[in-house]
Structure 1
Amino acid sequence: MKLYTRTGDRGETSVKGGRVRKDDLRVEAYGTIDELNSFVGQAAALASKSEALTELAEQLLEIQQELFDCGSDLAFADAEGKQFKMTAEPASRLESWMDRHVADSPEITRFILPGGSELSAVLHVCRTVCRRAERRIVTMAAELPVNDAVLIYVNRLSDYLFAAARLANARLGAADTEYVRSAEVFRKRS
């Protein structure tokens, strides 16, 4: 099998049901999801190096599968009446995982900066790329049909990645880097 087809040499690519320009809203949206998936893969590889983060590594691998599903759902030339892969269940599962990560992390009272451990820093990169993917999907949804479950999932995922970054620091014994000019903006747990 050849990896090159030459069909995109003039700035077009195939989507499910047709061809579009490579700067089409769909391509921007699923392309940013693909970029996010690459960074999540990097985070999973880092997490797999620590026994304390085995569960996190497994979660990240599952998220990679779901991100591929999100990209697939965004790649329809005409999404009307199509059978989507993403449902509400993965976003609910992210909430469950996130709740456990927050419970297993130190309290937070101030804004934090990306960093601490290498894994945490990479998870923060994932979080910011996830937010960009969300913006691309919102832009796409203003003009084209989008599976609502994808938008909900990506919104929830950025919060999950924040919680995962903090958990990584806690499990690896690295302190979060507080934004020193921040007031105390988060309430104490009751």
Structure 2
Amino acid sequence: MKIYTKTGDKGTTSLVYGQRVAKNDIRVEAYGTCDEANSMIGLALSHIPEQDSKFQEVREVFHRVQTILFHVGAELATPSGKEVKWKLEHEHVSDLETVIDKWDTTLPPLKTFILPGGHPAGAALHAARTVIRRAERCAIAIENVNPTVLSYLNRLSDFLFVAARYVNAQLGAVENKLHDS
């Protein structure tokens, strides 16, 4: 099978079930933005030492997150009225909340805003967080979107914020606090 099909050369692409839409359709924008965030998460993980056992849980959690985010994209790519092949459930949102609560208890309490950055892994997770916020804004515009998708994207941005702080702390990176100008 060739990687290219030439079917998108005129600015259209297929949704799940084959419906053709413009590449700037809100569904394409939403699932494409999820894909972009997933790539940023992959970039973040590439900066985390693979042999360090203290990051085993981080890698396992992110493997689940990346897999679910892939499925979120597929759900967003499914036209209204069609059966979703893998449906996001509230337990996926709860799973994120559990990890947020666990990792957040290991971090110093926030008393001011922090600036995105730190270790390259943490900085990439902060970037992924902002991309997920964009995906959420796109998803809101989709008619009849699964409300759990919106909850998941909202919680995922919270998770990525805490994950960036957690990874930065584990790697010894200093958080830069916002200063009054």
TM more than 0.5: yes
Q: Aligned pairs, how many?
A: 179
Equivalent residue number for residue 31 of structure 2 = 30
| TM-score, length of structure 1 as denominator length | 0.88
CA distance in 2, matches of 1:58, 1:38: 16
Equivalent residue number for residue 187 of structure 1 = none
| TM-score, length of structure 2 as denominator length | 0.92
Equivalent residue number for residue 178 of structure 1 = 177
Equivalent residue number for residue 5 of structure 2 = 5
> Structure 2 residue aligned with 1:111, among 113, 129, 133?
113
Equivalent residue number for residue 186 of structure 1 = none
| Structure 1: runs of 5 or more not aligned | 183-190
CA-to-partner distance for each residue in 1:9-61, whole Å, 9 max, x for gaps?
A: 11111112311111111101101011111111112222353433221121111
**Residues 112 and 178 of structure 2 are in contact (CA less than 8 Å); yes or no, is this contact kept in structure 1?**
yes
Indicate the percent of aligned positions where both proteins have the same amino acid: 45
Change (3 A) 1:79 1:31: farther
Higher mean displacement: 167-176 or 67-76: 167-176
Q: Which amino acid aligns with 2:14?
A: S
CA distance in 1, matches of 2:170, 2:97: 20
> Structure 2 residue aligned with 1:120, among 122, 129, 144?
122
Equivalent residue number for residue 98 of structure 1 = 100
Aligned CA RMSD, in angstroms, stands at 1.6
**Residues 11 and 23 of structure 2 are in contact (CA less than 8 Å); yes or no, is this contact kept in structure 1?**
yes
CA distance in 1, matches of 2:85, 2:126: 32
CA distance in 1, matches of 2:21, 2:167: 40
CA-to-partner distance for each residue in 1:154-185, whole Å, 9 max, x for gaps?
A: 10000000001111121112221100129xxx
